[in-house]
Amino acid sequence: MGKLEKEHQTQQKAMERRSLDELIRLYPAFPKGNIRASESPDFIVQQSRKRRTGIELTRLTRSEKMMLSHGERFVPAFSLESIQHVITSKESRIGLYRKQRLHQIWLVIVVEDFDLPPTFNIHNHLFHWTPETAFQAVLILHLSLQKVFEIKAPPRATD
């Protein structure tokens, strides 16, 4: 690994940690426990000896280009379709995450630079939509709004 690549990885991990810290601050249901950085998923929360939750962070960017089955076209970056695309793109890694013997796997989609039109009510759009996913929880961390939206709420702890 070259020096520039290692520096990029270090910066990315620092950015992920800042996003995780914001999630913890804004989301009271975040699991309590010791947090350690990992690679797949990005963080693991050790809640007890037997209970561990994996947290995978990904960014939804304004310039994200979507490839759809009916051809190549642009999709508005902050739409249910683009969010489902991000979820689907992370699904292929769930097998890798499960090798970590995690009790739950959460996907956190970080959004920071979207100016939503005043007529777009994000809460209403997300409230009536259930994504197709094997993740136990899917959250949107909207940094500029300082809010967390539950797309798929985490299951309640049972042990």
* pLDDT tens figures, 62-114: 654 444 444 555 445 567 777 888 899 999 999 989 888 899 999 999 987 65
Single pTM value for the model? 0.82
CA distances 52 to 3, 27, 69, 97, 130, Å, are 33, 18, 36, 11, 25
Q: Are 103 and 52 in contact (CB under 8 A)?
A: yes
Which of 27-36, 47-56, 107-116, 127-136 has the least mean pLDDT? 107-116
What is the C-alpha to C-alpha distance for residues 60 and 78, in angstroms, rounded to an integer?
8
| Per-residue model confidence (pLDDT) at position 120 | 53
* pLDDT tens figures, 50-63: 899 999 999 886 65
CA dihedral in degrees (70, 74, 76, 81; nearest 10)?
A: 30
Question: How would you label 18-32 residue by residue, b for 16+ Cβ within 10 Å and e otherwise?
Answer: ebbebbeebbeebbe
Q: Are 53 and 41 in contact (CB under 8 A)?
A: no
